[in-house]
Amino acid sequence: MAPALSVASPSTGAAVESGTSDVVVTGAKREVLPPAQLPGPATIKLHIADLIAKRPYIAALDAAGSTARLAVLADQERQYGSVPAFYLDTAEWFRLNGDPATASLLLLSALELPASDDETRQIVAFRLERDQSFDRSVELAEQLAAANAVFRPQPGRGLALALAARGRAAGRTGRADLERAFQLLVDTALNPASGDFDGIEVIALMEANALIPLIEAAGGHWTLEPGLVGLTDTDVRIVVEWTADDADIDLWVDEPNGERVMYSNKLSSGGGQISNDMTDGYGPEEYAIHHAPTGSYSVRINGYDADRINPNGLGHVLIRLQRNFAHESETQTLVDVDLSFQTGPNRNEEDETKPVATLRVGR
């Protein structure tokens, strides 16, 4: 990504510009100058039919009439309800079919099974954030960070994003959440353990910088080395992470001109860029484009290198589709995908990838 950057000199506090920018950044305050006209938010069309695995109990629900759904669910639960995947899948089915109350009960039921694990908790926490159940999402993220943050940086970042979502929703009263989220993201970026997941530090710093205006609007404070402060706004940003340490997940984005941005083509002719390819599990990986040409952006997920029995499903990918990132008009859609993996020698077989969403960018 190549956003215009303006940072404060450590010795003088004066702005040192790289490129052009409408924002002057210092170590303590952003002063917004008259901005260019911002584009309106993109319309995000999701390929919903492709996002739920077609397991027998989903087929049974699809075939049931609206009055028979709960009876069919109970029957299928007796057959398949010993693993979290059943509750995760059926929760999503009921949500997409207009029954959020049943969906919520099923989602939380996934946590109660003996087979539930940290992967289950990560999926449920992500969905609770999506559904704006922020307190429960933060509670689960706290548990994951307490158990795992000493070993790898992703749980700390996950907690930061859950706190940031709750802080944004709270406005000025979200100051403490926003400040803590910022510090967790900075810690993720500067943690030596992050070196084992090359690229996460850039993603975490981008997310930390995006919180600065929100912290200031809430009357809060932040501290960061001036050389790490910068303008991070992008028209389109897509971030994927996954729940397994033995999977390699690749993000593919087809831009309006047909060019595919992926691990083997990290920078497109239009300026779209993919972050470092994470091959050792968990992610995150990011696609970002600062000034997105109008048209459709097709998002696919490609799974590679996984061979295990998983009670949560073959593999799970958590996706954030963001428009006008780091602007006041930022919008975000959260999607999670149960994913199968490439079975042949060609890791780039398109027929075995998962289409996730299409972002249509207009001006």
* Spans in the chain with pLDDT lower than 70: 1-50, 192, 194-195, 305-314, 340-346
Residue 251 pairs in a beta bridge with 301
pTM value? 0.84
- 323 CB burial (10 A radius; 0-12, 13-18, 19+): buried
Hey, CA dihedral for 56, 58, 63, 66, is it positive or negative? positive
Residue 273 pairs in a beta bridge with 267, 288
Q: Which residues, 6 or more positions from 118, have their beta carbon under 8 angstroms from its beta carbon? A: 144, 147, 148
Residue 39 pairs in a beta bridge with none
pLDDT of residue 26: 34
- Angle value at C-alpha 46, between 135 and 335, nearest 5 degrees: 30
What 3-state class would DSSP assign to 301? strand
pLDDT of residue 342: 63
pLDDT of residue 353: 82
Determine contact, residues 251/287, Cβ cutoff 8 Å: yes
Per the listing, tokens 């470092």 go with: 276
**Annotated domain spans of the chain:** 40-79+233-363
